[in-house]
Each structure stands twice: as C-alpha cells, then as structure tokens.
Amino acid sequence: MARVLNFGSLNVDYVYHVDHIAAPGETIASTARDVNCGGKGLNQSIALAASGAKVFHAGRIGADGGMLKELLDSKGVDTSLITLSDGPSGHAIIQVDKDGQNSIILFPGANHEIGSDKIASAFSDFGEGDTLVLQNEISGMPEIMRSAAEKGIRIVFNPSPVTPEIFNYPLELVSLFVVNEIEAAALAGTGFYPAMPDMLTKKYPNADFLLTFGTGGALFLTGGLFIKYGIHEAPAVDTTAAGDTMLGFFVGLTAGGMEPEKALELASKASAITVSRKGAAPSIPTLAEAEGCPYPYREFNIVIQ
C-alpha cells in the first residue's frame, strides 16, 4: 500500500450560507451556519485515505481541535503525528452562496506553530518510496521541503493560498504541483491559457503538473505529454473541497501504481460528487462512490498549446 505523509493544515470551519458573497462594506444575513472539520490538509488526507492510500497526517491543533483528530481517525488516517498546542486551532470563516460558490477567510492558529522539532519528528520514519503532500496553510514550509528532499521523499505541493513567500520556497524540489487556474497563473507568470502549460514546464522542468480548470476540466502534464479529462456535470451545491478531493484521489491512486489517465478519471468523478454535496470534509466520497459516479461526462474545453 502506498504511504503518504500529509504535513497539512487542520481547521474548524464556520460555514455561513448566504444569498450572495458579501461585497466590501456590505452587511448581509445568513440563512444557516454549520460548524465542520476542515483545512485543506484535513480535506486532502480524507480524500487520500478514500482513494486507498495509507495516510499519515502531521500537523498541530489546539484544545478546541479534538473533533478534527477524531474525524481523521474515523476515516482511517494515522494521526499519531498530530501535536497539541496551548493556543487555538486554525479556523476558517466560509461564505457559500446559492450557486455553491464560496469565499474563505483563514485564521492559522496552531497551523503556524510548526517548528524544526516537529518537522524532524514527522520525518523520522519516512524515506524513499514515500510521498509528501503539502499546502500553503502551515508554517515551516522551506524546511519541510528540504527535509523531505534530503530523505528522497517525493514532494507534492498545492500552493494554496498563493502568497509572495511561496516564491522563496525551494520549488525546484517539488515533483508534482497541483494547481487551479489562479495558482497556475501565479506560478507561470501568465493567465493566458494557451501559453500557461508551456510556461509552467519551462520554469519548473523537473516537475509534473495537475491543472484544474473548474468547469473546463483537468490537465496532467508529464514528460512533455498532455493528459486531458473533462468534467462530470454535477449540480453545484458547495465547491469548497472540490480541489482537495481531486488532489487526494489523483495522488493517492497514482502513488498506489494506477496509470495517470485512469487516476485522473476517478479523481474527476470524485470531485464532481464533492461539488454536489454540502460541506468540505463531509462531502468527500468513497472510491466506490467515485467509480459509480452518476453524472454525465462533458469533454475538456480549454484551449491550450
């Protein structure tokens, strides 16, 4: 079984359901509030586990984060590398509008208490043949990347949220970038679709890329090859964890030896199911559900070169 270490964020999500995303200076009422487990790290660990990978989550929570660890445990994620802070856990305030689109404010909390001792401890039992998954919601990222590279661990990086600090990270160590349109444009230095894949591969020649284009589909770039897959048209209820589901399934399945074409298909199906459900972590499907995805397929429709 593939071993994946996800050194990632753990958040308590406060989700407000609104008619539309609040504009600057605007006060609006919400129709409901949900309190869920979240954080890109937690979501991706659940998706990785759902794909069949053996997942270890390293991270940090406060005393208010017990529900986060309990959920990961229930999904089969090894939580022995999660440590306890004296301060609060990270949390997010999420607006979800009537069309399923979202707006998110993050408070890092314990996610930004990742120091050298925690990093060394997390990597003590990992090495060549293992995969590391990272997002940009925890501290210590450059040291984490270098520590993984020194041990021969494959690095997968989802640069979300995009911040100026990202470009000071040792990105040349990354084996696979998983990016949406905004993140891809930031890395490539262009938002012009036809040129984006070429720019990415020139700037980061040692890396593969999984690009997601929302309703346009997804594209995997590896060794000069473009592998495209469209979307399964699900009713949009909440898009919060769609990208995390895509990453978790694709990385988990390929780490386990599945060919990228089939992994991309199943990851896209899983992501479609996630979009059709409320919440972040609760919306992530099982592998069996992804294989039986009921939603119709539409071809990839982004122009690239």
For residue range 203-228, what is the model confidence (pLDDT) as tens digits? 999 999 999 999 999 999 998 889 99
DSSP state of 178: E
Instruction: Give domain status of residue 304, yes or no.
Output: no
Number of H helices, E strands in the chain: 9, 15
Instruction: Give domain status of residue 303, yes or no.
Output: no
List, for residues 15-38, the tens digit of each pLDDT value: 899 999 999 999 999 999 988 898
DSSP state of 48: H
Between 141-150 and 116-123, two packed helices, what is the crossing angle to 10 degrees? 30
Rounded distance between C-alpha atoms, residue 72 and residue 234, angstroms: 26
DSSP state of 304: -
Q: Residue 101: helix, strand or coil by DSSP? A: coil
Rounded distance between C-alpha atoms, residue 73 and residue 75, angstroms: 5
HSE-up of residue 58 (Cα within 13 Å, Cβ side): 26
Rounded distance between C-alpha atoms, residue 44 and residue 257, angstroms: 19
List, for residues 229-257, the tens digit of each pLDDT value: 999 999 999 888 999 999 999 999 999 99
250 and 274 Cβ atoms separated by less than 8 Å: no
Give me the pLDDT at residue 192, please: 79
CATH classification of the domain holding 260: 3.40.1190.20
Give me the pLDDT at residue 305, please: 62
Confidence of residue 104 (pLDDT cuts 50, 70, 90): confident
Tell me if the pTM is above 0.85: yes
Give me the pLDDT at residue 92, please: 86
Rounded distance between C-alpha atoms, residue 303 and residue 305, angstroms: 7
- Please check the confidence at residue 66 and state whether its pLDDT lies above 70: yes
Give me the pLDDT at residue 182, please: 92
Domain tally for the chain?
Answer: 1
Virtual CA dihedral for 275, 178, 191, 234, nearest 10 degrees? -20
At 56, give phi and psi (nearest 5°).
Answer: -115, 125
- Write out the residue range of the structural domain in which residue 147 sits: 3-22+30-298
15 and 36 Cβ atoms separated by less than 8 Å: yes
Instruction: Give domain status of residue 12, yes or no.
Output: yes
Instruction: Give domain status of residue 56, yes or no.
Output: yes
Instruction: Give domain status of residue 305, yes or no.
Output: no
